[in-house]
Chain A
Amino acid sequence: MKEGTTLDLTDLPPHGLGTASVSWWGTLAFMLIEGTGFALSIVVYLYLMSLAQRWPLDAPPPDLLAGTTLTALLVASLVPNIVLARWARNQDLLKVRIGLIVMSLLGMAPLILRAFEFPAMHIKWDQNAYGSIVWVMLGLHTTHILTDLVETLVLTCLMFSRHGDNARRFGDVSDNTMYWNFVVATWLPMYACLYWVPRL
């Protein structure tokens, strides 16, 4: 088959940023998978609640302090996160390095608070179905904080290495900030469900 050139791609950028990047779309697809998982865990919670005579089962409603502080911290972390996203878009290496260190710390702090959240539930996973779903929901979200933290730490090391000053890396940082927004956004309905639904 003969071929005739009708389109010249020479002047295109050698790497796509934002919606022109495949990893941006991949991150979005994984967020859809995990978001569905979060939503289903809330459905299971509400389903079990609908079957119970009283709710929570054999436990008082959870203490609000640890969970509410964590929620406030997560929401506050969005500000430096969005600023970091802007720095990454501008490919400002020095600021991105600083931002990543800040976000690493802001990834660790919620884990400390989370350690106080589990006892604040006043129930263990093996006591009844309420305990089981509460621990699984907290566990599921903790896993997400943890994976994002590891990713942020690796990216921080990367940005301090000789591979750092590369549009591809800034794209990775940008995708990572988008994922953190997702981790925060999914927590809000989980928080409402875990702490306020039992008080309705």
Chain B
Amino acid sequence: MTGRDGSDSRDTAFNDAELDRRLASVWSTPPGLWGILSTVDHKIIGRRYITTAFVFLALGGFLSLLMRLQLAQPEARFIGPDRYNQIFTMHGTNMMFLFAVPVMQAMAVYLVPLMVGTRNIAFPRLNAFSYWIYLAGGLLLWLAFVLDAGPDIGWFAYVPLSGPQYAAGKRADIWAQMITFTEVSALAVAVEIVVTVFKQRAPGMSLDRIPLFVWSMLVTSFLVILAMPAIVIASTSLILDRLVETHFFNPAEGGDVLLWQHLFWFFGHPEVYIIFLPAVGMVSSIVATFTRRPVFGYLAMVMAIIATGVLAFGLWVHHMFVAGLPRLGQSFFTASSMAIAVPAGLQIFCWLATMWAGRPIFKTPFLFVIGFVVTFVIGGLTGVMVASVPFDTQVHDTYFVVAHFHYVLIGGAVFPLLGAAYYWFPKLTGRMMSETLGRWVFGLIFAGFNLTFFPMHILGLRGMPRRIYTYQPEMPWSALNMFISLSAIILALGFLLFFVDAIRSARSGAAAPSNPWGASTLEWATSSPPPPYNFARLPVVGSLEPLSDHSDDLPVAAGLRVDRRELLVSSVVEAIPEARESSSGDSIWPLWAALATSATLIWSIFTPWAVVWGSIPVAIALIGWFWPKGVPEDES
């Protein structure tokens, strides 16, 4: 079946204004509730994803303030032990599964299609589905918490504590099923990113011209694809142990509790790099723009990103050094844990070399990068320390570890993310954030963070364990805890100011031009925010920095149809055009599919038959989703 292929439906037939009008009529999301619920525009879904993730950040941050209030002085009565267990579990679970991973993927959902020069993400309906599933998982966890049924088993839910014997009720099931929601959504986005990067790059964007942020998201997506099945197997086995009396983790019947730890950390350690690698890409983008030169050692950076991704799978046992494993295993995992410092160090030196050789401009995004380098190096150094078994045995489960991973995660990922928020805000909203407030935000967060978390190293060395809801006045911990709690207020004020700045700027910030920072990657080649079709004519790429080479004359491709959503499929290595391909239009079916899936998953906490009966509406929704509707996008 051939479509209406006459020249009257090709972009070559129109002048710029007419082309924009026609493209807008095909690609725009209709106004109103139906449009909101059925849109498949990666920019709208990306913004939605990012906003939701930041709401979860605020909620998780609020929980941490409650914990600091409780721990500010010994024997405080503000929160009881049961509620405290729920709060620290919620804090960790929320920050890892509902904030850190989704926000990084969300940035990619928005930015990757723009950076590779295409009109929408691959599998746009899957993208819509993934957001709804993520939202449902987040609501499940938080509604359960509000109803006093929040999980209380730590964010890693170790058995036997989370098993049928010690965790009566549904709290542990809520945790395990929330995992399913977030895994489904994360895996869906990972597939979309991989295929977008492999097959939808602008003509000429060969592998050695892919922006570093896109490389980092590609490797991250592969980490998601290879690591998340482990947690799916783990959480499913846990649910089965609890619901239908299987014995995976029951030593009395041939099961094993350490099996849980292996499966969890085989996912859990790569998870750290799933959060960190996108930050590497963000830092690289910001450094290149604000030093006015390409990042030093592009090839070395790409190799370091890939090496980090590979090594990430060889470290998981270092979370289990005190679990009584064979000594040979311990030595191997100490070596591999230290080895991953090599690519991380390489990245740091490449950025330092770039700054050294460039002309740094100290705007807010760049300040966060500097804060990142300092903080992440400290976190990396304590990481090398805890990679050593004797030291780890001493500080395991103390506040030293809490300090270490907050340095790595906040320093290594949240600082770059905040820098990225200031950097890409104009592209997301069409408005600039405030530079003055930005400096205050950076100052408060950087100072507040270090004042809050550095003393935790000392608390840990003084023996204060993690996850305790209070402590006795005789312990030498009171003064430092009070100091930490007061410092946390500074940190919280920094974040509060960030949110104020973001909301205020989104409403009334200065209008942003298409390329406010003078950057060189493709997302800045289109207006801020971009039109629904991203690019009126697809850019043609001839170098790593397409905008620097053609500051006033960007080469473009022509010949795409404008009477259907059409984009370009190109070859994996050289990005040579292979086909004009349609991109799915708006559809309500992903929402129905997400609702059916959510109902099935929640129901299955209570009875295994939910999977049988629930699969019927899920199947109906999926058939409705894929059944051809006779639209031009279906022509071939």
- Chain A residues close to B by CB (< 8 Å): 1-17, 19-22, 25-26, 29-30, 32-34, 36-37, 40-41, 44, 47-48, 51-52, 57, 125-133, 135-136, 150, 154, 158, 163, 165-169, 171
Q: Cβ of B233 and Cβ of A44 under 8 Å apart?
A: yes
A8 / chain B contacts, CB cutoff of 8 Å: 12, 557-559
- Looking at the assembled complex, report how far the CB atom of A169 sits from the nearest CB atom of chain B, in whole angstroms: 8
Q: Cβ of A126 and Cβ of B246 under 8 Å apart?
A: yes
User: Would A14 and B195 be within 8 Å (CB), given that A7-B555, A8-B558, A132-B246 are in contact?
Assistant: no
Q: Cβ of A32 and Cβ of B577 under 8 Å apart?
A: no
A1-B526 Cα distance, complex, nearest whole Å: 9
- Looking at the assembled complex, report how far the CB atom of A92 sits from the nearest CB atom of chain B, in whole angstroms: 15
Could you say which of B253, B554, B579 contacts A2, with CB atoms under 8 Å apart?
Answer: B554
Q: Does B230 contact A (CB under 8 A)?
A: yes
Q: Cβ of B555 and Cβ of A12 under 8 Å apart?
A: no
Q: Cβ of A15 and Cβ of B256 under 8 Å apart?
A: no
Q: Does B517 contact A (CB under 8 A)?
A: no
Q: Find the residue from A15, A22, A51 having the highest chain B CB count within 10 A.
A: A22
A30-B230 Cα distance, complex, nearest whole Å: 15
Q: Cβ of B514 and Cβ of A48 under 8 Å apart?
A: no
B245 / chain A contacts, CB cutoff of 8 Å: 125-126
Could you say which of B571, B619, B636 contacts A15, with CB atoms under 8 Å apart?
Answer: B636
Could you say which of B200, B229, B237 contacts A22, with CB atoms under 8 Å apart?
Answer: B200
Q: Cβ of B199 and Cβ of A57 under 8 Å apart?
A: no
Q: Does B232 contact A (CB under 8 A)?
A: yes
Q: Cβ of B229 and Cβ of A40 under 8 Å apart?
A: yes
Q: Does B506 contact A (CB under 8 A)?
A: no
A127-B580 Cα distance, complex, nearest whole Å: 56
User: Would A22 and B559 be within 8 Å (CB), given that A16-B569, A40-B230 are in contact?
Assistant: no
A95-B598 Cα distance, complex, nearest whole Å: 39
Could you say which of B123, B538, B540 contacts A26, with CB atoms under 8 Å apart?
Answer: B123
Q: Which residue of A lies closest to B626 (CB)?
A: A154
Q: Cβ of A166 and Cβ of B634 under 8 Å apart?
A: yes
Q: Cβ of A12 and Cβ of B579 under 8 Å apart?
A: yes
Chain B 367-400 near chain A by CB (<8 Å), digits 1 or 0: 0000000000000000000000000000000000
User: Would A12 and B636 be within 8 Å (CB), given that A2-B554, A29-B225 are in contact?
Assistant: no
A3-B560 Cα distance, complex, nearest whole Å: 16
**Which segment, of B2-10, B22-30, B108-116, B433-441, faces chain A?**
B2-10
Could you say which of A26, A52, A168 contacts B254, with CB atoms under 8 Å apart?
Answer: A52
User: Would A125 and B558 be within 8 Å (CB), given that A7-B577, A12-B578 are in contact?
Assistant: no
Q: Does B635 contact A (CB under 8 A)?
A: yes
Q: Does B582 contact A (CB under 8 A)?
A: yes
Q: Find the residue from A5, A9, A135 having the highest chain B CB count within 10 A.
A: A9
Q: Cβ of B256 and Cβ of A51 under 8 Å apart?
A: yes
Q: Does B338 contact A (CB under 8 A)?
A: no
A52-B514 Cα distance, complex, nearest whole Å: 64
Q: Cβ of A128 and Cβ of B247 under 8 Å apart?
A: yes
Q: Cβ of B259 and Cβ of A13 under 8 Å apart?
A: no
Q: Does B552 contact A (CB under 8 A)?
A: yes
Q: Does B122 contact A (CB under 8 A)?
A: yes
Q: Cβ of B634 and Cβ of A129 under 8 Å apart?
A: no
B256 / chain A contacts, CB cutoff of 8 Å: 47-48, 51, 129
Could you say which of B240, B580, B627 contacts A136, with CB atoms under 8 Å apart?
Answer: B240
A33-B259 Cα distance, complex, nearest whole Å: 21
Q: Cβ of B569 and Cβ of A21 under 8 Å apart?
A: yes
Q: Cβ of A16 and Cβ of B577 under 8 Å apart?
A: no
Q: Cβ of A130 and Cβ of B225 under 8 Å apart?
A: no
Q: Cβ of B558 and Cβ of A9 under 8 Å apart?
A: yes
**What 11 additional pairs, Cβ within 8 angstroms, besides A7-B557, A10-B10?**
A1-B525, A9-B538, A10-B558, A15-B579, A21-B581, A29-B194, A36-B225, A40-B233, A47-B256, A130-B254, A154-B627
- How big is chain B's contact interface, by range? 35 or more
A170-B623 Cα distance, complex, nearest whole Å: 17
Q: Cβ of A22 and Cβ of B569 under 8 Å apart?
A: yes
A5 / chain B contacts, CB cutoff of 8 Å: 12, 537, 555-558
Q: Cβ of A22 and Cβ of B122 under 8 Å apart?
A: yes
B155 / chain A contacts, CB cutoff of 8 Å: none
Q: Does B630 contact A (CB under 8 A)?
A: yes
A26 / chain B contacts, CB cutoff of 8 Å: 122-123, 191, 195
Per DSSP, are chain A's interface residues mostly helix, strand or loop, or mixed? helix
Q: Does B529 contact A (CB under 8 A)?
A: no
Q: Which residue of A lies closest to B194 (CB)?
A: A29
A126-B555 Cα distance, complex, nearest whole Å: 65
A20 / chain B contacts, CB cutoff of 8 Å: 199, 569, 571, 578-579
Q: Which residue of A lies closest to B542 (CB)?
A: A6
Q: Cβ of A166 and Cβ of B636 under 8 Å apart?
A: yes
A158-B627 Cα distance, complex, nearest whole Å: 8
A66-B379 Cα distance, complex, nearest whole Å: 56
Q: Which residue of B lies closest to A126 (CB)?
A: B245
Q: List 6 A-B contacts (CB under 8 A).
A: A13-B579, A14-B561, A19-B572, A20-B571, A127-B253, A136-B236
Q: Does B263 contact A (CB under 8 A)?
A: yes
Could you say which of B2, B191, B199, B200 contacts A14, with CB atoms under 8 Å apart?
Answer: B2
B634 / chain A contacts, CB cutoff of 8 Å: 163, 166, 168
A167-B635 Cα distance, complex, nearest whole Å: 8
A62-B581 Cα distance, complex, nearest whole Å: 50
B5 / chain A contacts, CB cutoff of 8 Å: 14
Q: Does B158 contact A (CB under 8 A)?
A: no
- Looking at the assembled complex, report how far the CB atom of A58 sits from the nearest CB atom of chain B, in whole angstroms: 8
A52-B275 Cα distance, complex, nearest whole Å: 37
The 8 closest A-B pairs by CB, nearest first: A16-B579, A15-B636, A9-B559, A10-B559, A132-B246, A129-B254, A167-B636, A7-B557
A2-B233 Cα distance, complex, nearest whole Å: 53
Q: Cβ of A9 and Cβ of B580 under 8 Å apart?
A: yes
A17-B559 Cα distance, complex, nearest whole Å: 19
B561 / chain A contacts, CB cutoff of 8 Å: 14
A47 / chain B contacts, CB cutoff of 8 Å: 256, 259, 262
Q: Cβ of B187 and Cβ of A33 under 8 Å apart?
A: yes
Could you say which of A12, A22, A40, A158 contacts B199, with CB atoms under 8 Å apart?
Answer: A22
- Looking at the assembled complex, report how far the CB atom of A188 sits from the nearest CB atom of chain B, in whole angstroms: 19
User: Would A163 and B557 be within 8 Å (CB), given that A14-B3, A14-B635, A127-B253 are in contact?
Assistant: no
Chain B 558-586 near chain A by CB (<8 Å), digits 1 or 0: 11110000101101100001111110000
Q: Cβ of B558 and Cβ of A136 under 8 Å apart?
A: no
Q: Cβ of A25 and Cβ of B254 under 8 Å apart?
A: no
- Looking at the assembled complex, report how far the CB atom of B2 sits from the nearest CB atom of chain A, in whole angstroms: 7
- Looking at the assembled complex, report how far the CB atom of A83 sits from the nearest CB atom of chain B, in whole angstroms: 23
User: Would A13 and B580 be within 8 Å (CB), given that A154-B626, A158-B628, A166-B634 are in contact?
Assistant: yes
B630 / chain A contacts, CB cutoff of 8 Å: 163
- Looking at the assembled complex, report how far the CB atom of A163 sits from the nearest CB atom of chain B, in whole angstroms: 4
Q: Cβ of A1 and Cβ of B225 under 8 Å apart?
A: no
Q: Find the residue from A8, A12, A57, A158 having the highest chain B CB count within 10 A.
A: A12
Could you say which of B253, B254, B556, B572 contacts A6, with CB atoms under 8 Å apart?
Answer: B556
Q: Does B1 contact A (CB under 8 A)?
A: yes
Q: Which residue of A lies closest to B557 (CB)?
A: A7
Give the contacts of B510-525 with A (CB-CB under 8 A): 514, 525
- Looking at the assembled complex, report how far the CB atom of A127 sits from the nearest CB atom of chain B, in whole angstroms: 7
Q: Cβ of B560 and Cβ of A9 under 8 Å apart?
A: yes
A22-B581 Cα distance, complex, nearest whole Å: 9
A169 / chain B contacts, CB cutoff of 8 Å: 628
A29-B187 Cα distance, complex, nearest whole Å: 10
A4 / chain B contacts, CB cutoff of 8 Å: 553-556
Q: Cβ of A36 and Cβ of B259 under 8 Å apart?
A: no
Q: Cβ of A7 and Cβ of B623 under 8 Å apart?
A: no
